[in-house]
Every structure is written in C-alpha cells, then in structure tokens.
C-alpha cells in the first residue's frame, strides 16, 4: 500500500457495492471483495481527450493483476472507451465502468470508497474538482489531478488538507506537465549539490507543441477569477505553517540572457514555482534556505514581448463574461491534436543549481508536453501511488514530496529523461 499508514483503508470491514459493468450489455452490482477496496486505481474522466490518452497508456502499461476501472457520467461513452482499449489490451474487455457525476456527491463518495487511488482529468478543476477531492480526503483515498489552477489548489488545501491528514489520504495536484517535470527536476538538481547552506535553482522551460484545450480553459477561467484566487491564497497563507529553521521562496527577476540555454530568460509565473517551493518546505534535503526562479526561455526578445502581450489580452478578455465565453469557444475541451502532431512535439526544462560555491546544470526532456507526456505522467504517478514503497505522507502533498525518486525512476524508464549535463566542479 505504498509504504504509508493504511489505518484509514483497513478500518472498513466492507464497502458498498458499485453500480458498474464489466460488459457493455448490462450494469450490475459488483460483489464485495475481501480487500476493502475493490480497485487499486480508478481513472475519472476517461471520455475526454487527455483522459482517453491516459486510459490508453494504462491499458498498455498496468502491471498484471492491477485492479482498475474507468469512471464518468456516460455509460455509453465509457463503453466506447473500453472498446477502444480492447485493441490495445484484450483483457480490457473486463474493465469495470463506474457511473459517477461531480454534481452527485453520493457517486463521488462511492468511487472514492471503492479505490485506493483515483486520478481525474475532469477540469476546469475550480468548477468540477472539489466533490472528488472532498470524497477522497474523507475516505482515505489517494487523489491525483492535472490542475494548473492556483486558486483550486489553495482552496483544496484550506478545505480538505486536514481531513486528508486524518484519513491518511494523499491529495497530489499538478501531476502533468504542470508540474511534474519542474518539481522532480528541481529535486533532481538539488540532489547533485551540497545543501548545508543556501541553495538557488533556476528553471528554464522550452517546448514545441500545442497547448491542450483543458489547459487553455483552465487558464482563461483562472484569469477571470483573479480576485477569488487572491483571497484563496491569503486564506491559505494565514493558516499554513512550515518547519522551523528552513526558508523557501520563489523569486522573480528581469529578463536576461541565460548562457545555459543560450536564450532570453523571462520570469514565468505559472503554478510550477509554488509547487517547487512547497516541496522545499516539506523536504529537508533542499537545505535551510532555498530559492527557486522559473523562466520561459526564448531565442528572441521580440517573441517574448508578443507572448506577454497575448497573455495580457487574454487576461483582459477573461474579465468580461461575453468575451470570456467567446474566447473559450475557440478551443473545445475534449479535443486535441492528432498523433502525428503530438509525435513532433517536445519539451526541455533546463535547471541551473548553485550551492556552496558549486554549480550544476541538469535537463529534463520529453515528448509532447500538453497531451502525450501529460497522460504518461498522470498514469505513472497513479501507478506509483498504487504500487510503490513511498515516504509516509498524508494531506495535500506535492509530487516530489509524495513520490520523488520512485516516480522519477518510473518516468525515466518510459522515456522522460533526467540528466546532469554539467556536473559540479
């Protein structure tokens, strides 16, 4: 059970049966198994584009004997996904389908109580995510998502962190391109340095690919909720405490030319630096004084200026409801690029770490960040929580704090590389 306390899981002598089906023709009650959880892993949202890619990845890579299921609102759409998975793995024909809707708290509780791990791709999470988080926090079920929405993450900490700590659940947000390469990459970089004194890490993101529709919708939604995000952040700051004797923070800076990437470095205020800093607060190996700066790396400053102007325009449009609706209609959630376009996409995150007068440069590389690799990261993170020996953690925790080296090794085996390109002298 992943190396953590399982008191919350073992305290239930049985679990309610689930309205599900292992065959397209009928929905029937599942027998109560001897294990108090019917499934090792449930994927919620498999009928969407990224959810479908995650389901396909799982069908191809789940270890033998893993008990997993698909969950969503529509029986017909889930059955269609299962039929598609049979072409990848014939035994997927026996995959259970769980009928569940975020507007029905009872169905969320049923899914949470049936599984050891639940992974969800249903966003924007600020609109659709909380019922499942709440259910998992109470049920002692590990939860993962793909959110990049700071307001959602902060609200879930304020509302459900304590319940998850009490039940033993691990609530792990940001398990896709936001923010696994950056969180695990920063951790990998820190491991190459002495952390007895201050540590500084800078990350530089480069990518070629399509932004996912889900990410686009989440970003526009977040832009339209700036005041509510500020309140959620303030509420969390007022309540959250950190270990004594350690400091960690994200820093911003002016544009400059970074030799390590031979490009302009522009501060990139996504959710990623907040995740890295929370890992540094949680893990003593980051040292007593940790600083992280997050950048996008661009070859031409004019290109960066155009990007900033575009984001500013999107932010302004998001403040006006009719314009926000129009903008959201330009990308339909659930759609995505074809296989050829995804195959041509890529990402690279370069990290420069400095501590004790020494410097290290590392890189994290992978394929299509918005879809293919995001699905891989979420799936491997879910399998990691379900099957690997991990540190004792509970409550809302970061990918690095919850899974760290175990997840990094999984991703390395599946083609996402973590390399030292310039070792400390």
What CATH number does residue 257 fall under?
3.30.360
Residue-range definition of the domain harbouring residue 295 = 180-369+417-422
pLDDT in tens, 179-188: 999 999 999 9
What is the H or E stretch that residue 207 is in?
strand 199-208
DSSP for 151-177, written as a single string: HHHHHHHHHHHHHHHHHT-EEE---BT
Phi, psi of 8 (to 5 degrees): -70, -35
Same domain, 307 and 241: yes
Whether the per-residue pLDDT at 89 is higher than 90: the answer is yes
Helix-then-strand count for the chain, H and E: 17, 17
pLDDT of residue 223: 59
Torsion of CA 26, 28, 34, 35, to 10 degrees: 70
CA distance 253 to 217: 28
Q: Residue 72 to residues 50, 77, 98, 266: CA-CA distances in angstroms?
A: 14, 8, 7, 40
Over residues 186-195, mean pLDDT:
94
Residue 225 — pLDDT band, cuts 50, 70, 90? confident
Same domain, 66 and 188: no
For residue 170, give both structure tokens. 């691990």
Over residues 345-354, mean pLDDT:
97
pLDDT of residue 31: 38
Same domain, 242 and 354: yes
Contacts of 179 (CB under 8 A, 6+ apart): 148, 270, 271, 272, 275, 276, 398, 399
Q: Select the highest-mean-pLDDT range: 172-186, 219-233, 317-331.
A: 172-186
CA distance 421 to 360: 8
395 bridge partner residues = 170
Whether the per-residue pLDDT at 191 is higher than 50: the answer is yes
213 falls within a domain: yes
Same domain, 250 and 266: yes
Over residues 395-404, mean pLDDT:
98
Same domain, 55 and 192: no
More confident call, 302 vs 410: 410
Helix (H/G/I), strand (E/B), else coil: 211: coil
Same domain, 37 and 92: yes
Same domain, 58 and 127: yes
pLDDT in tens, 47-74: 999 999 999 999 999 999 999 999 999 9
Whether the per-residue pLDDT at 10 is higher than 60: the answer is no
Q: What is the DSSP code (8-state) at residue 294? A: E
73 falls within a domain: yes
2 falls within a domain: no
Over residues 34-41, mean pLDDT:
85
For residue 136, give both structure tokens. 């998992």
Whether the per-residue pLDDT at 13 is higher than 60: the answer is no
Q: What angle do CA 166, 167, 168 make, to 5 degrees?
A: 95
Residue 218 — pLDDT band, cuts 50, 70, 90? low
Phi, psi of 240 (to 5 degrees): -80, 140
Counted domains in the chain:
2
Whether the per-residue pLDDT at 396 is higher than 60: the answer is yes
Please, are residues 355 and 194 in contact by the beta-carbon 8 Å criterion?
Answer: yes
User: Of 216, 226, 224, nearest to 178 (Cα)?
Assistant: 216
- Give me the percent of the chain exceeding a pLDDT of 90: 71
Cis status, amide bond into 124, omega within 30 of 0: yes
pLDDT in tens, 125-139: 999 999 999 999 999
Please, are residues 49 and 56 in contact by the beta-carbon 8 Å criterion?
Answer: no
Could you tell me where the DSSP H helices lie in 319-393?
321-328, 339-343, 372-387
Same domain, 39 and 101: yes
Of 212-226, 310-324, 325-339, minimum mean pLDDT range = 310-324
220 falls within a domain: yes
pLDDT of residue 380: 98
pLDDT of residue 322: 58
> pTM to 2 decimals?
0.87
386 falls within a domain: yes
Whether the per-residue pLDDT at 224 is higher than 90: the answer is no
103 falls within a domain: yes
Strand pairing class (199-208; 289-298): parallel
411 falls within a domain: no
When the pLDDT of each residue in the chain is averaged and rounded to a whole number, the result is: 86
pLDDT of residue 339: 85
pLDDT of residue 275: 98
User: Of 110, 93, 106, nearest to 42 (Cα)?
Assistant: 110
Same domain, 93 and 167: yes
Whether the per-residue pLDDT at 165 is higher than 70: the answer is yes
Residue 95 — pLDDT band, cuts 50, 70, 90? very high
Whether the per-residue pLDDT at 226 is higher than 90: the answer is no
More confident call, 8 vs 360: 360
Same domain, 23 and 169: yes
CA distance 107 to 414: 34
412 falls within a domain: no
For residue 391, give both structure tokens. 């540190």
Whether the per-residue pLDDT at 310 is higher than 60: the answer is no
Work out the burial of residue 143: count CB atoms within 10 Å of its CB; fewer than 13 is exposed, 13-18 middle, 19 or more buried: buried
- Give me the percent of the chain exceeding a pLDDT of 70: 80
Same domain, 132 and 273: no
Same domain, 217 and 133: no
More confident call, 23 vs 264: 264
Whether the per-residue pLDDT at 423 is higher than 60: the answer is yes
Neighbouring CB atoms inside 10 A of 88's CB total: 14
Residue 1 — pLDDT band, cuts 50, 70, 90? very low
Please, are residues 109 and 77 in contact by the beta-carbon 8 Å criterion?
Answer: no
Q: What angle do CA 178, 184, 189 make, to 5 degrees?
A: 130
């Amino acid at each position: 059970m992943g190396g953590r306390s399982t008191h919350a899981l073992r305290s239930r002598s049985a679990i309610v049966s689930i309205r599900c089906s292992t065959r397209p023709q009928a929905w029937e009650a599942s027998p109560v198994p001897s294990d108090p959880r019917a499934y090792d892993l449930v994927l919620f949202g498999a009928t969407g584009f990224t959810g479908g890619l995650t389901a396909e990845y799982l069908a191809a890579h789940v270890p033998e004997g893993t008990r997993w299921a698909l969950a969503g609102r529509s029986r017909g759409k889930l059955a269609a996904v299962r039929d598609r998975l049979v072409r990848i793995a014939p035994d997927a024909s026996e995959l259970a389908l769980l009928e569940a809707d975020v507007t029905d708290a009872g169905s969320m509780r049923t899914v949470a109580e049936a599984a050891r791990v639940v992974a969800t791709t249903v966003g924007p999470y600020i609109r659709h995510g909380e019922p499942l988080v709440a259910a998992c926090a109470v049920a002692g079920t590990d939860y993962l998502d793909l959110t990049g929405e700071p307001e959602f993450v902060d609200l879930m900490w304020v509302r459900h962190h304590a319940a998850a700590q009490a039940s033993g659940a691990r609530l792990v947000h940001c398990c896709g391109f936001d923010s696994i390469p950056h969180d695990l990459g920063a951790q990998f970089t820190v491991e190459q340095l002495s952390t007895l004194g201050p540590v500084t890490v800078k990350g530089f993101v480069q990518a070629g690919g399509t932004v996912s529709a889900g990410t686009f919708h989440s970003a526009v939604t977040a832009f339209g909720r700036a005041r509510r995000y500020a309140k959620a952040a303030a509420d969390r700051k007022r309540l959250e405490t950190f270990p004594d004797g350690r400091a960690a923070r994200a820093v911003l800076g002016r544009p400059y030319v970074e030799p390590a990437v031979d490009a302009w470095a522009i501060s990139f205020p996504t959710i990623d630096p907040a995740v890295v800093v929370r890992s540094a607060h949680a893990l003593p190996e980051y040292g007593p004084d940790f600083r992280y700066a997050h950048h996008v790396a661009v070859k031409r400053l004019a290109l960066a200026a155009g990007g900033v102007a575009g984001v500013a325009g999107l932010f302004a449009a998001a403040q006006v409801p009719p314009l926000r609706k129009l903008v959201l209609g330009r990308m339909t959630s659930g759609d995505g690029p074809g296989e050829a376009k995804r195959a041509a996409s890529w990402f690279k995150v370069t990290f420069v770490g400095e501590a004790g007068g020494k410097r290290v440069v590392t890189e994290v590389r992978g394929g299509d960040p918005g879809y293919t690799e995001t699905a891989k990261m979420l799936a491997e993170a879910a399998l990691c929580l379900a099957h690997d020996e991990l540190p004792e953690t509970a409550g809302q925790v970061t990918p690095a704090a919850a899974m760290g080296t175990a997840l990094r090794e999984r991703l390395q085996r599946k083609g996402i590389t973590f390399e030292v390109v310039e070792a400390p002298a």
